[in-house]
Amino acid sequence: MKYEMQELRLQFWDSLLHNDPADGADLDEAFLAFTRAGEYEDKKALVLLKACAAVSQTASNAMKRNLKAAILTWFSGGPSDNRTHSWQLGHNGMPHLYEIVGTQLSWRDAAGIVGASPDDYSAKRRVLSLLRDECVSQWKWTFGEDTGGPFEVSDASA
């Protein structure tokens, strides 16, 4: 059951990346019963997905691009000093998650893919800050309790 939930969660992430985010009710319906009885990490994963979906539905186009760049870096495994290749998009449009896993995209790579300024590292800080705040709200809304502290959203969150 856990692997089916992880696969379904990846489908929702890919949909979000391709401008088709689920709303919180859809995510709750798909995951909440499993997550409430699940581990803390499963709860965090649901809350981050809900926060990203909420931001993608309400944010400016620029912030949506920044969010997509963050998602690309998370699922690519993040940047690495040992990376020996540069990312080249093999087709026009947004890649699917399975295409970027293990590519170790930097913020610069990911921003370029989504059409954002690759040199604007403050955009990365802004989107992560927005997601931290939204995660706290989503946690309280979903589980009816405070997170007990700040919600950590970083380069490796998803």
Range of the domain at 26: 2-143
- Report yes or no on 102 lying in a domain: yes
Question: Residue 134's pLDDT band (boundaries 50, 70, 90)?
Answer: very high
35 falls within a domain = yes
123 pLDDT band (50/70/90 cuts)?
A: very high
Residue type, 111: A
Contact (CB, 8 A) for 46 and 142: yes
* CA 154 – CA 86 distance, rounded (Å): 22
**56 confidence band (pLDDT: 50, 70, 90):** very high
Cα dihedral 137, 1, 40, 128 sign: negative
Q: Considering its fold, how many domains does the chain have in total?
A: 1
Is residue 152 included in any domain, yes or no?
no
Residue located via tokens 């981050």:
48
- The rounded distance, in Å, linking the Cα atoms of 138 and 9 is 16
pLDDT at 155: 62
What would the two tokens of residue 3 be? 């692997």
pLDDT at 78: 75
Would 151 be classed as within a structural domain? Answer: no
Residue 80's contacts (CB-CB under 8 Å, 6 or more residues apart) are: 104
Kindly state the tokens that stand for 94.
């947004």
Residue 148 domain flag: no
Higher pLDDT: 29 or 150? It is 29
Residue at 155 is within a domain: no
pTM assigned to the model: 0.85
Least confident span in 39-43, 124-128, 133-137? 39-43
What does the mean pLDDT of the chain come to? 84
Residue 104 lies in a domain: yes
pLDDT at 70 over 70: yes
